[in-house]
Amino acid sequence: MLQETDPERVLSVIELSFKFIDLATRSWDYLHRNNYDEIADEAISELNARFREHGVGYDFVNREIVRVDSQLVHAEVVRPALALLAAPVYKGAQAEFLSAHEHYRHGRMKESLNDALKALESVMKSICIKQGWSYDPNAPASKLIQTVFDRGLIPPFWFSHFSALRTTLETGVPTVRNRLGGHGQGTEVVDVPAFLVAYALHLTASALVFLVEAEKALP
């Protein structure tokens, strides 16, 4: 690995190594010790500290190396989103959100947008299932958003305060995806800029945190 000149290959080796640390070394069978959870957590924490120290722009979270464009947004939005999605009911959404970051890391911008939208849709479907609300499984994001709002995920007296959020949910990620990632691009190749995809991922993370927390607050 020390002789490798391709940064992506180096990151892949690091990711594989730390997946092993996070999965296998926590078992009693590994070194017959009781405190290996703490040792594994410290190793992951040090890796991320080294990434930040050298300005690498990546973070190891949920057994994946994800690209970090803003430490503040990552700490305040992306990490909380992944923590909330760790609940079994949101397992599909978590996989899609991590996949979106994986595509982003490898420069597959359109695929990243598509998976970001899938994660948003999956969270809303999971909330509907959890609450017993009827919904169309084939409904697009805009109709799913309308469903959760109609069902009182946001109390009516707060609608004015959350009108901007509703507009963002309806026209933000879905519109970005529909125009740049989800349909035929004709005779010209459409390049999706990385900064736009980063914005869409952060927007998605914020929406996921909001939706999950709002559902938890329901009576």
Closest residue by Cα to residue 205 from 123, 114, 108 = 123
Q: What is the pLDDT of residue 162?
A: 56
pLDDT tens readout for residues 57-68:
788 988 888 877
The mean-pLDDT minimum among 102-106, 134-138, 174-178 falls in 174-178
Question: Which segments of the chain belong to CATH 1.20.120?
Answer: 70-216
**70-216 adopts what CATH topology?**
Four Helix Bundle (Hemerythrin (Met), subunit A) (1.20.120)
**Of 188 and 17, which is predicted with more confidence?**
17
CA 133, 203, 73 angle in degrees (round to 5)? 125
Q: What is the pLDDT of residue 73?
A: 64
Q: What is the secondary structure of 90-122 as a DSSP string? A: GHHHHHHHHHHHHHHHTT-HHHHHHHHHHHHHH
Q: pTM above the 0.95 mark?
A: no
Q: What is the pLDDT of residue 122?
A: 94
